[in-house]
Homo-oligomer: A and B are copies of this chain.
Amino acid sequence: MGEGRYREGIGRIARWVGGGGVCYHGDMGDLSKLLNPKSVAVIGASRDERKIGGIVVRNIRESGFGGAVYPVNPKAEDIQGLKTYVDMASIPETPELAVVALPANMVIEVLGQIAEKGTRDVVVFTAGFGEIGEEGKRLEEDMGRFCGEKEMNLLGPNCLGFVSNLVPINVTFGNVAKNPGNLRMLSQSGAIATAVFDWFEAQGLGFGEFITLGNKTVVGENEVLEYWLSRERGDVRERFGEGLSDVYPVGMYLESIKEGKRFLELVREVSRNDPVFVLKPGKSEAAAKAMQSHTGAIAGEDAVMGAALAQAGAIRCEGIEDLFDLARVFAWEKTPEGPRVAVVSNAGGPAVISADVIAEVGLELPVIDDGTHERLLVKLPRAASVVNPVDVLGDALAQRYADAVEILLSESRVQALVVILTPQVMTEIEETARLIGELAAKHGKPVVCSFMGGNHIRKGEEVLNGYKIPSFRYPERAIKALGAMWRWNKWRQGLGEASGVVGSLGEDEARIRKVVSGAKEGGRGALESGESNEVLEVMGVAVPEYRMIEKREEAFLFAEEKGWPVVLKLVAEKMLHKTESGGVVVGINSGEELEARLVEMEEKVKRLGGEMPGLKIMIQKQVEKGVEAICGVKRDETFGAVMMFGAGGILTELVADRNLHLLPVSRSEAVALIEGSRVYKLLVGYRGEKPYDVDGIVELMMRLARLVEGYEEVEEVEINPVIVTHERVWAVDGKILLRNHEEGNNK
């Protein structure tokens, strides 16, 4: 199996690519030629059709490819009846694409010959690079560097290649479904692709292009998205006639994302016209990382991914089943114009279940208007249920189904239809499917089906597949898919909303720079409490008055001057959560109390000072009672700065109020972030209380965003608690972490 063996290590690809491999793509022009070649050389072509080099030649030839195919193999005279060349140099023209199926140690040499010949687009199937360890990693780095120098687009290595049913050409060594269609698929994993191909074939589902990425040494998801964005869209229904769908859906299976910010821009751009759905595994791995702050812990990799995709208009798949379901529903069905769904069923139970799920996924069951109600009464038997869901009863024949479907699709309030069928003894399964297919085409509204059962209903499913109407074995899946379609359309409809830009906040740059530089020169990873407070004050954030205490008298003086009650805090660089181990005493109301607490604190300083250098006592004026929130910004490795807002103080962990938004954030987005939080229930004024200062929180958010955007030394900022009163917002406990440039960054 030495020849171009296909391997995929569990988690290993993700770790290798995600860890930041070489990356020379981007300036090399687009993938138009790679994915639409007129001629192909197969290097490592083989007579043996059990070997990759043999399968690929067969696949290209059987795909209906009209261009020239040049097998390259120094030993063979002809392969599958094709004239075979001993090397690239001897091919009579310059092939537009070179495909490599050779052992890893031979690839770089061959790339040299390919470059020599003038070919700039390459697919490398070969495994045995970064995914197998240090040696392979070096080999892959060399390959990447070479491609950069020669300006070559390279797909792979360690990939299954690609299929275009548009060219058509099948440059893979898998069993591939051949129907052309509007779907566009991208998979980092070749194995997932083989399962999808097999399933597509069973469903009769076509696709336009299916690209597998493998190790992404050069070509990654962003290059593919750029290529898709650059293509003429043309009329979907004219080109493919895939049911009612008028979009080119993009489905992706990704184990890592190379340049998160660019990726989101591209996804957002694609999402304007076409739905994007993404499966990204690895939740548990990401969740296991220990974090230095709440923002860090809450805004973990996986949560940021979810927020990022949602902001870019993409649908995140919860599992492999979602990826399959959404591929089918987007490929075939029109996107609903609104959330209002009608249900027709010949069984009560599944209809009740559907009503549950419709509510869960954000769809609605509209009340049917009087006219429609009348029409249903005329057509359906007396015992039928003519509210929505409509029950056509267990003995419904095809015509009764058709009557109900026709009436409901004619009703303007109904924006999508779900048809449920159980195979009762009199049920006309195939004829019902046929009539549904005809009516869906006539009315042009999205229809999804759930024919429930096994062998009997399979025949109905086949008829529905012919009409490009997706049928799901369980009504829950049908409705979930419809819900995702509507969410995407809703996102599109909201695209026009303003996304403001934050202007200068007028802070004193020099003072902030001085504090930050001082801390960095001292080799510290975080500002001290006093420094954080100073930075926040300069930024215009309200911080309760405070003083660092050297001598006990200073505390009494502060309290007399500023007024009671006061708070004492033990502060040190390393003590990030101050309320642990009695580091904060609140509600000190008198001189005697202050004296007693100071004595205790001083003892603590003595006791702990050894392990915690720089331990100090701070006195602070206690602010009014208010709602406690948390607000922070952290930098995500993949997607950049992300803002977090939620319930703070002791509620931080209790409420798990995780609301994220990638920067930049406009005022209206900030308001939406607050309104979407759980703590918002308190902020609007709980049970008749006055509302709290939400505008003040927005202002605070803008300033924190500005701090992270404007000062690259700042890795993370978090205020917890933010005390929100009816009139204003206090940053009581601020934490500013710095980037550690010695280590690249501090993760």
Which residues of A are at the interface with B, using a C-beta cutoff of 8 A?
A: 1, 5-14, 50, 55, 127-128, 131-132, 173-175, 188-192, 194-203, 253, 255, 281-285, 319-321, 324, 345-353, 355-357, 359-360, 382-383, 385, 387, 389-391, 393-395, 422-426, 452-458, 473-477, 577, 579-582, 647, 650-651, 653-655, 678-679, 681-682, 686-688
A320 touches B452 (CB 8 A): yes
B579 touches A352 (CB 8 A): no
Residues of B within 8 A of A647 (CB): 654
B281 touches A175 (CB 8 A): no
B580 touches A687 (CB 8 A): yes
Given A283-B356, A349-B191, A394-B8, CB of A655 within 8 Å of CB of B653: no
Residues of B within 8 A of A192 (CB): 347, 349-350, 422
A–B complex contacts, Cβ < 8 Å, 23 sampled = A6-B394, A14-B348, A132-B383, A175-B425, A191-B348, A191-B349, A194-B422, A195-B423, A198-B455, A201-B455, A202-B455, A255-B348, A255-B349, A281-B356, A319-B357, A320-B353, A581-B687, A581-B688, A647-B654, A650-B682, A651-B654, A654-B681, A654-B682
Residues of B within 8 A of A10 (CB): 345, 348, 351-352, 385, 387, 389-391
Provide the bound-state CA to CA distance between A389 and B473, in Å.
Answer: 30
Given A654-B682, A681-B654, CB of A175 within 8 Å of CB of B423: yes
Provide the bound-state CA to CA distance between A552 and B132, in Å.
Answer: 84
Provide the bound-state CA to CA distance between A422 and B651, in Å.
Answer: 45
Give the shortest distance, in Å, between A655 (CB) and chain B (any CB): 6
A454 touches B202 (CB 8 A): yes
Q: Which of these, B199, B457, B650, contacts A454 with CB under 8 Å?
A: B199
Provide the bound-state CA to CA distance between A422 and B192, in Å.
Answer: 7
Number of copies: 2
A6 touches B476 (CB 8 A): no
Give the shortest distance, in Å, between A654 (CB) and chain B (any CB): 5
A355 touches B175 (CB 8 A): no
Give the shortest distance, in Å, between A439 (CB) and chain B (any CB): 21
A474 touches B319 (CB 8 A): yes
Q: Which of these, B196, B203, B579, contacts A687 with CB under 8 Å?
A: B579
B385 touches A12 (CB 8 A): yes
Residues of B within 8 A of A579 (CB): 686-688
Residues of B within 8 A of A324 (CB): 474
| A-B pairs with lowest CB-CB distance, top 5 | A202-B454, A191-B347, A198-B453, A195-B452, A199-B454
Provide the bound-state CA to CA distance between A476 and B422, in Å.
Answer: 26
Provide the bound-state CA to CA distance between A686 and B359, in Å.
Answer: 37
Q: A9-B385, A174-B424 are in contact. List 19 more A-B contacts (CB 8 A).
A: A6-B393, A9-B348, A10-B389, A11-B348, A131-B383, A191-B346, A191-B347, A194-B423, A197-B453, A198-B423, A198-B457, A199-B453, A199-B454, A200-B454, A253-B349, A284-B355, A320-B353, A577-B687, A581-B688
Residues of B within 8 A of A190 (CB): 394, 424
Residues of B within 8 A of A385 (CB): 9-12
A320 touches B654 (CB 8 A): no
Provide the bound-state CA to CA distance between A283 and B650, in Å.
Answer: 33
Provide the bound-state CA to CA distance between A196 and B423, in Å.
Answer: 9
A189 touches B347 (CB 8 A): yes
Provide the bound-state CA to CA distance between A391 and B14, in Å.
Answer: 14
Which residue on chain B has the smallest CB distance to residue A679? B654
Which residue on chain B has the smallest CB distance to residue A584? B687
Residues of B within 8 A of A688 (CB): 579-582
A352 touches B281 (CB 8 A): yes
Residues of B within 8 A of A353 (CB): 281, 319-320
A355 touches B285 (CB 8 A): yes
Provide the bound-state CA to CA distance between A203 and B473, in Å.
Answer: 14
A320 touches B474 (CB 8 A): yes
Provide the bound-state CA to CA distance between A253 and B347, in Å.
Answer: 13
Q: Which of these, B7, B201, B285, B383, contacts A7 with CB under 8 Å?
A: B383
Provide the bound-state CA to CA distance between A426 and B50, in Å.
Answer: 8
B9 touches A383 (CB 8 A): yes
